[in-house]
Structure 1
Amino acid sequence: MAVATDPAASPEPDDTFQPAVSHKESPPEFTVMPIVVGSLLGIIFAASSLYLVLKVGMTVSASIPVAVVAITLSRFLWKRSGQKSILQNNIVQTAGSAGESIAFGVGVTMPALLLLGYDMTLSRVMVVSLLGGCLGILAMIPLRRVLIVRLHRELAYPEGRACAMVLRAGETETGSQPAEHGEPRAEQKKGGGSLAVFGGFALAFIHKVVTEGMALLVSTVKLPLKVVHKTAVFANEMASELLGVGYIIGLRTSAIMMAGAFLGYLVIIPLLSYIGSNSDFPVPPGDKLISEMSTKELRDNYLLFVGAGCVATAGIISMLRTLPMIVRSVVDMAKGSKGGGEGATDVKRTERDMSLRTVLIGSAALLVVLAGFLFMETSGKTASPILAGIGGALLVVVFGFLFVTVSSRLTGEIGSSSNPISGMTVATLTMTCLIFLALGWTSSIERVLALSIAAVVCVAASNGGTTAQSLKTGHLLGAT
């Protein structure tokens, strides 16, 4: 669940922060070649991420590998044109990492259609991906000034900072490195940061080969704690990517995550097993007696829903706490969108936001397309397809903006790889099904409708968190 950080602790932008590229400079950034290269890398990493999520149910952020590839390709593609800049490499990693986040959202939701007996058509997957991706971006835009700028010192955004470090390390000239938590940038020697970053890659690669490729070392250790309860388990996974994320997010947030794991596996699961041991019938959603369930079965059937409820509750609290700052951000966007308005021409290059008018028009268009898509999904199969389309679109927008806010903030605290998108998806699906149950919508097509709503929200939350990381990278580098 979200860390209770006071959003009012840093209400204004940090004036001491200096990006790698000054706002007074105007290097090439949003050009054709980085967009094309980033899109191709996004397709490649989306395919690999989709395979990983279908195989093990999780994936890791692709932003750092994409950034490394971007550095390599930039030396051969657009450096010869004399227009190479670090901001172009940032565009490549932004576009490439978006593919991974969308693939994750699709991979954890769309296969459920097959389990319900429906065909997972290409058109449905494309529409869910497109609508969810657009919703994640549109919902994140008003949060940029709040989460990325005003809370610069409070939210680490580990992958975003790591990407900035990688891109800076890839520069061949002596330059300035974005410092940790908004401190003034410090000069680094040529190649010093690059040696450290790529040395870390080499160590992680060797560790993966030794543990998973050659199986010379065991990466996961499980220790049953029968002295506590027969279902209590202490498990530890020595993963290089998780060690890196833990180092970046710091001791406090890492300790909170570990406390959650201890609470779940050493308190809640043994308590569930003890309370349900005398039950002579299965307790839904489980399909067998609690006394016969293993630790994994108790987690999948009960603990997962407890976690989803915690995520949803923390999300609502987080949204309420940051609501005043979100309103201020929207007001700032409204002032900046007035052509010829006061200060309209004085906005720094690094503070240029998409106009509020564009966000509102895009949101309205997205709402119409969502309603049309859900109407077509239910037309001729339910008694009220119009109500299903409009109501479903409203649920997508409400849950989407809620969980994009949660996801964008959580990625700043614990990183994209640890972001509980599955918990947000379960919470969305559970609340949607409760609403449908109250309306008497219990047919098979309504189940597909609920799943479609959850799928769009899942993609939106996943892409919103990745977008937040990319915006953090851009903020550190001095991008628009």
Structure 2
Amino acid sequence: MAHGPSEEKPDTSESRTARERAERGPSPYVPAGRSVAELTIKAVAIGLALNVVMLTANMYLGMRSGMTISASIPAAVISMGLFYGLRQAGIGGTILENNIVQTMTSAGEALAAGVIFTIAGVTFLDQPIDIVNTAIVAVLGGLLGVLFMIPMRRYLIVDKHEELPYPEGTACADVLEAGSRGDEGVRLISFGFLVSFVYMWLASGMAAFRTTIQTAFSVGETDGFAIGGDFTPALIGVGYIIGPRIAGYVFGGGLIAWMMLIPLLITGGFVPESAADAALMTQAEAVWDEYIRYVGAGAMIVGGFYAILSMRRTIADALGTAVAEIRGSGAAATGGRKRTQRDLPMKVVVVGAVLIALALVAVPQVQVGLLGGFIAVIAAFLFVAVSAYLVGVVGSSSNPVSGMAVATILIAALALRSTGVTDPVVVLVTASVVAIAAAVAGDTSQDLKTGYLLGATPRNQQIAQMIGIALSALFAGWVLYFFHQAYGIGSETIPAPQAGMMALISEGVLTGTAQWGMILIGAVFAFVLILMDVPVLPFAVGIYLPITLATPIFLGGLLRAGIDRYVSRRDDEDGSLAEHTTSRGRIVAAGLITGEAIMGIVIGALYITGTGNAEGAPFPLGLGGQTQTILGVVALAALVGLFATSVLRNAPDAADQ
């Protein structure tokens, strides 16, 4: 992990100059001295409407598949289309208004992830969906995520600009800039979008080929080696944006889990009874679900604490600023900042966090008690930092919110059990506050990265995010209740695997059956990585996530490395050609992410409306499994070839730059 502010030297003139240089960062699309319409009624109205749509679609998709899609880029694309239509009617819209729309819209998607991964788990404990309870917990957790992200913005978004790419945030900025300029970027992103959209329609809409290619095998007396990937355009695009180094760390964690730990456990006889007689790949997946996730959770707990430790000076400075502002001495300094560096006042953060902590204890619908409220706030602060860092590395779509919820459940259940608490619902609600805060913080950090690159006002984005959270929370309980009544949470249609796992773990800790040994293994592994000065969290994510997610991300990183190597042979000393090619690649990757995300919404809408086949794909072609696999390999090769060709085609020579 990159060393944090705790290792910086005293505030000499040299360090101040470096900090000022970092604060200047890249030249934003809209200069700090320019006044542009941003947080307008028009932008808020469009953002609220799209917010509810994304909330509903992602709650359904998340409970059906166990994963949600990042809504920032689809929201930006849809917003651009709406503003284009308004412009034809004589009502224009600025790029920063577009940014506010995507900020508000993505709040619904982020809050949906936290709700369906945790609160939905009460149905597995034979409890009904409480609409009021869901709304209160969602709004409290969501606001904590936004508030706790504010003091970390300058460190993660500004100071660590070069180290943390925030792939969706960067891609979203590229999308909005390309749409605003109307130049070559529009053609590139449109090409990436079209390729991804068609690719995913053929795969998910018609089952023409499989995107997931995986296998398990034995070597000698050792069984259970597993490798594979879900080779979708979005994951490859994310890998390209984050680059080969970080993608390699994630893939390395995946290899440790699936090519080392799982074979050892399977060969040693640690296969769950439900999968004992199943195929080898099914056994590997069962072992990962039963044991390895705990290893990843243990590594993330240690990595999270280390991240906080590395940021301790930044956090101390933020708290010091808050105290100064509350006393009134910091008001002038805050008002003197550039527009692009103005956050909500720190006294809002402190007072808001205190009020939320009191509400967690005092509001009867929450039911977590004094200890549960204390754990929720402290854990939320910890995992907001972890989440905001992680999405800077691997992106929002791969943000292991459920892993942070697992870690919270383990801590909360252990502490609450010591006080005599036996109700797993209390543990689950405590964890839901943290999961929602972590999901929202990850989304907020991506949005703030987009705003940083575009030249937006952070304070306006933070306000927009809070408005979006409030609306999402009001609808979340109703949407969850509707799906439970229509399909039944835990049914074949919406199995809600993450929620079921959370309920199981909550009961397991309270009854003493949790996998504490696996957690310790993950913690020790993370400690060793820290001693070796290797980034912990990307490795922990790789262990926790399925290998099918780590592999395509790594492929995208390799694609970036190959293109960069090819271009470097033609470049001159100033690296202008490499920079130009990297920019082209990011825009195409943004198109890939956008196309898949919007197709995910289309497929979700088809399922919700009951259009087409309810199982597998809406309009399946009826091809056999082997044929689908062969076509999947062909489709993947075509996707990679089209990506590379679009980036390198007509790229100017160094002499032309």
Q: Is the 8 A contact 1:7 1:151 kept in 2?
A: no
Helix, strand or coil at the partner of 1:164: helix
2:315 matched to which residue of 1?
326
2:285 matched to which residue of 1?
296
2:295 matched to which residue of 1?
306
Helix, strand or coil at the partner of 1:233: strand
TM-score (normalised: structure 2): 0.64
Helix, strand or coil at the partner of 1:108: helix
Q: Is the 8 A contact 2:79 2:101 kept in 1?
A: yes
Question: Which is worse superposed, 73-82 or 448-457?
Answer: 73-82
Helix, strand or coil at the partner of 2:180: coil
2:338 matched to which residue of 1?
348
Paired with 1:224 and 1:133, the residues of 2 have a C-alpha distance of 40
Paired with 1:287 and 1:365, the residues of 2 have a C-alpha distance of 47
Give, in angstroms, the shift of residue 81 of structure 1.
6.2
Task: Kindly provide the CA deviation profile for residues 399-420 of structure 1, in whole angstroms up to 9, marking residues without a partner as x.
Answer: 1000011000101111111111
Q: 4, 15, 24: which one pairs with 1:7?
A: 4
Q: Does 1:197 align with 2:206?
A: no
Give, in angstroms, the shift of residue 218 of structure 1.
2.4
1:138 matched to which residue of 2?
147
1:201-240 residue pairs with structure 2 within 5 A?
201-227=193-219, 229-240=222-233
Q: Does 1:168 align with 2:163?
A: no
Paired with 2:173 and 2:324, the residues of 1 have a C-alpha distance of 30
Q: Does 1:463 align with 2:440?
A: yes
2:454 matched to which residue of 1?
477
- When residues 365 and 81 of structure 1 are mapped into structure 2, their CA distance, relative to the original with a 3 A threshold, is farther
Paired with 1:474 and 1:78, the residues of 2 have a C-alpha distance of 23
Q: Does 1:53 align with 2:62?
A: yes
- When residues 134 and 437 of structure 1 are mapped into structure 2, their CA distance, relative to the original with a 3 A threshold, is same
Helix, strand or coil at the partner of 2:110: helix
Helix, strand or coil at the partner of 1:226: strand
Paired with 1:413 and 1:438, the residues of 2 have a C-alpha distance of 37
1:114 matched to which residue of 2?
123
Give, in angstroms, the shift of residue 260 of structure 1.
1.1
- When residues 46 and 309 of structure 1 are mapped into structure 2, their CA distance, relative to the original with a 3 A threshold, is same
The one-letter code sitting in structure 2 at the alignment partner of 1:50 is M
Aligned-residue identity in percent: 35
Give, in angstroms, the shift of residue 28 of structure 1.
1.0
1:384 matched to which residue of 2?
none
Give, in angstroms, the shift of residue 336 of structure 1.
6.3
- When residues 254 and 167 of structure 1 are mapped into structure 2, their CA distance, relative to the original with a 3 A threshold, is same
2:406 matched to which residue of 1?
426
Paired with 2:417 and 2:25, the residues of 1 have a C-alpha distance of 53
The one-letter code sitting in structure 1 at the alignment partner of 2:185 is G
Task: Kindly provide the CA deviation profile for residues 8-53 of structure 1, in whole angstroms up to 9, marking residues without a partner as x.
Answer: 4875524352111111111111111111111110110111111111
- When residues 392 and 81 of structure 1 are mapped into structure 2, their CA distance, relative to the original with a 3 A threshold, is farther
Q: 21, 25, 42: which one pairs with 1:33?
A: 42
Paired with 2:383 and 2:119, the residues of 1 have a C-alpha distance of 19
Helix, strand or coil at the partner of 1:417: helix
1:377-396 residue pairs with structure 2 within 5 A?
377-378=366-367, 389-396=369-376
Task: Kindly provide the CA deviation profile for residues 430-479 of structure 1, in whole angstroms up to 9, marking residues without a partner as x.
Answer: 1111112222222xxx3111100011111110000000000111111111
Name the Cα RMSD after superposition.
2.2
Give, in angstroms, the shift of residue 290 of structure 1.
6.8
Q: Is the 8 A contact 2:166 2:446 kept in 1?
A: yes
Paired with 2:93 and 2:202, the residues of 1 have a C-alpha distance of 38
Paired with 1:132 and 1:225, the residues of 2 have a C-alpha distance of 43
- When residues 84 and 377 of structure 1 are mapped into structure 2, their CA distance, relative to the original with a 3 A threshold, is closer
Q: Is the 8 A contact 1:14 1:152 kept in 2?
A: no
Helix, strand or coil at the partner of 1:412: helix
The one-letter code sitting in structure 2 at the alignment partner of 1:470 is D
Helix, strand or coil at the partner of 2:218: coil
- When residues 392 and 412 of structure 1 are mapped into structure 2, their CA distance, relative to the original with a 3 A threshold, is same
Give, in angstroms, the shift of residue 80 of structure 1.
5.5
Q: 157, 173, 185: which one pairs with 2:166?
A: 157
Q: 305, 319, 335: which one pairs with 1:316?
A: 305
Paired with 1:441 and 1:306, the residues of 2 have a C-alpha distance of 26
Q: Is the 8 A contact 1:156 1:248 kept in 2?
A: yes
Paired residues, number: 440
Q: Is the 8 A contact 2:211 2:232 kept in 1?
A: yes
Question: Which is worse superposed, 290-299 or 162-171?
Answer: 290-299
Paired with 2:252 and 2:311, the residues of 1 have a C-alpha distance of 25
Q: 52, 74, 77: which one pairs with 1:68?
A: 77
Q: Is the 8 A contact 1:98 1:466 kept in 2?
A: yes
Structure 1 gap ranges (5+): 173-189, 379-387
- When residues 406 and 43 of structure 1 are mapped into structure 2, their CA distance, relative to the original with a 3 A threshold, is same
- When residues 336 and 155 of structure 1 are mapped into structure 2, their CA distance, relative to the original with a 3 A threshold, is farther
Q: Is the 8 A contact 2:178 2:185 kept in 1?
A: yes
Paired with 1:339 and 1:37, the residues of 2 have a C-alpha distance of 38
- When residues 171 and 288 of structure 1 are mapped into structure 2, their CA distance, relative to the original with a 3 A threshold, is closer
Task: Kindly provide the CA deviation profile for residues 57-94 of structure 1, in whole angstroms up to 9, marking residues without a partner as x.
Answer: 01121100000011111123378666621111100000
Helix, strand or coil at the partner of 1:224: strand
Q: Does 1:127 align with 2:136?
A: yes
- When residues 347 and 244 of structure 1 are mapped into structure 2, their CA distance, relative to the original with a 3 A threshold, is same
Give, in angstroms, the shift of residue 7 of structure 1.
2.6
Paired with 2:269 and 2:19, the residues of 1 have a C-alpha distance of 48
Task: Kindly provide the CA deviation profile for residues 123-163 of structure 1, in whole angstroms up to 9, marking residues without a partner as x.
Answer: 12211211111010011011011111111111100111111
Q: Is the 8 A contact 2:275 2:283 kept in 1?
A: no
Q: Is the 8 A contact 1:140 1:468 kept in 2?
A: yes
Q: Does 1:357 align with 2:366?
A: no
Q: Is the 8 A contact 1:333 1:353 kept in 2?
A: no
Task: Kindly provide the CA deviation profile for residues 90-127 of structure 1, in whole angstroms up to 9, marking residues without a partner as x.
Answer: 00000000100101111111221111111111112211
